[in-house]
């Protein structure tokens, strides 16, 4: 009986509290309408892969003028068929322009002729600010460590799905990258974050990077400028890239 009485009392209290609340659906609707600021007009591309009107096109298939080697020289990567392909041992290439938080679209392709396995098959990487790596790897029927497979934040975050297409087919990454922020003394104010779609599949959902990419050891943050170049990695495999554009956020 005591339990029943308590339940009745709680129900009555909830009803009284609800009745005491003001009716939030009454009044002038204009009080919750905003007309400024006005969102800027951005003309989208004809397809989801096409660069919108406010994007910076980093590679349109015709030249490598937006890129340089890590030492500042002209890239030696192969340019053919509207794509650029890693030239093994030539080294990675980076954008001449520096970027911080951004939206990136990039298409990549592992070699159609399969050679090697694990990390030795279609390996490259997209390294934001030269420090935070989104892995490129042929993981179609190819097993490796989970935090090093395609679309992983290398050795940090395992992708939510393996969305790889077969070798030789073009694949797409669409990335929202939030650059880290630092206090003057070097402490991290806000860590770097990634949201990644691989071939239209969500594979990284606003994950926090633990620090600079590390092949061996624990990632850590080291204070750096607000904007730095994007880097495409030479890992010795003939990985190709095309249709690369970026929107600064």
Q: Per the domain annotation, does 173 fall within a domain?
A: yes
| 195 burial level (CB within 10 Å; 0-12, 13-18, 19+) | middle
Nearest CA-CA partner of 193 in 210, 213, 178, 176: 178
Residue 85: half-sphere exposure toward Cβ, Cα within 13 Å: 15
Q: Per the domain annotation, does 25 fall within a domain?
A: no
Q: Per the domain annotation, does 157 fall within a domain?
A: yes
The enclosing domain of 204 has a CATH number of 2.60.120.560
pTM value? 0.88
The reported pLDDT for the residue numbered 27 is: 87
Q: Per the domain annotation, does 20 fall within a domain?
A: no
The residues near 174 (Cβ < 8 Å, ≥ 6 apart) are 103, 104, 105, 196, 197
CA dist 66 and 70 (Å) reads 13
The reported pLDDT for the residue numbered 30 is: 87
CA dist 224 and 205 (Å) reads 25
The reported pLDDT for the residue numbered 155 is: 97
Q: Per the domain annotation, does 87 fall within a domain?
A: yes
Q: Per the domain annotation, does 186 fall within a domain?
A: yes
The reported pLDDT for the residue numbered 32 is: 87
pLDDT tens for the chain, 249 residues long, are: 445 455 545 555 555 555 555 666 788 888 888 999 999 999 999 988 899 999 999 999 999 999 999 999 999 999 999 999 999 999 999 999 999 999 999 999 999 999 899 999 999 999 999 999 999 999 999 999 999 999 999 999 999 999 999 999 999 999 999 999 999 999 999 999 999 999 999 999 999 999 999 999 999 999 999 999 999 999 999 999 999 999 999
Q: Per the domain annotation, does 3 fall within a domain?
A: no
What is the total count of domains within the chain? 1
Domain limits for position 190? 56-248
Q: Per the domain annotation, does 28 fall within a domain?
A: no
- Reading the block at residue 93, the tokens are 């290439």
The reported pLDDT for the residue numbered 20 is: 57
């Amino acid at each position: 009986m005591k339990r029943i009485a308590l339940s009745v009392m709680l129900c009555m209290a909830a009803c009284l509290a609800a009745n005491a609340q003001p009716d939030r659906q009454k009044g002038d609707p204009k009080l919750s309408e905003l007309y400024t600021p006005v969102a800027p007009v951005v003309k989208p591309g004809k397809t989801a892969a096409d660069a919108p009107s406010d994007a910076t096109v980093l590679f349109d298939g015709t030249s490598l003028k937006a890129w340089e080697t890590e030492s500042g020289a002209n890239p030696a990567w192969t340019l053919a068929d509207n794509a650029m392909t890693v030239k093994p041992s030539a080294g990675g290439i980076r954008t001449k322009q520096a970027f911080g938080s951004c939206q990136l679209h990039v298409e990549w392709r592992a070699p159609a002729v399969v050679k090697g396995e694990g990390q030795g098959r279609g390996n490259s990487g997209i390294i934001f600010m030269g420090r935070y790596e989104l892995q490129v790897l042929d993981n179609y029927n190819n097993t490796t460590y989970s935090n090093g497979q395609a679309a992983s934040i290398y050795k940090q975050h395992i992708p939510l799905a393996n969305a790889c297409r077969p070798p030789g087919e073009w694949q797409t990454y669409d990335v929202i990258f939030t650059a880290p922020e630092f206090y003057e003394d070097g402490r991290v104010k806000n860590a770097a974050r990634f949201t990644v779609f691989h071939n239209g599949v969500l594979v990284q959902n606003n994950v926090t990077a633990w620090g600079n990419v590390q092949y061996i050891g624990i990632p850590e943050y080291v204070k750096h400028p607000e904007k730095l170049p994007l880097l495409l990695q030479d890992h010795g495999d003939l990985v190709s890239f095309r249709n690369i554009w970026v929107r600064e956020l």
